[in-house]
Amino acid sequence: MTKPVFHRIRTVSIVEPFRLRAVFVDGVVKEYDLRRWEDRPEFSLLFRHPALQTAVRVEPGGYGISWNDDIDLSAEEIYGNGMDVASSSLKESSSVE
């Protein structure tokens, strides 16, 4: 039986409004458009107060990111639905402890 693979985020940064870049422990880099969540009530605060984007941080263990206790995304969501990016020109703002 094969062990499930869980992707872990090493760093996350905001690259432009409502677009983030996540660098995974395995070296994969993904950009993720947060606008896909614009109509979701749990993300409404992020869209009403765009400056909150800069509060994004990697959760302990790297299994997700969060902005506060109510707004978060799993590493699997970002890995599966983000766009692949070349690993050059990385700006890192937050990392796995």
Number of alpha helices (DSSP H) and beta strands (DSSP E) in the chain: 2, 8
Question: What pLDDT is recorded for position 87?
Answer: 52
Question: What pLDDT is recorded for position 62?
Answer: 97
Question: What pLDDT is recorded for position 65?
Answer: 98
In the chain (97 residues long), the average pLDDT of successive 10-residue segments reads 85 96 96 96 93 95 96 97 75 47
Question: What pLDDT is recorded for position 4?
Answer: 72
**What is the pTM (predicted TM-score) of this model?**
0.84
Go through the domains of the chain in sequence order and give each one's CATH number.
9-86 (3.30.2020.10)
CA distance 35 to 15: 14
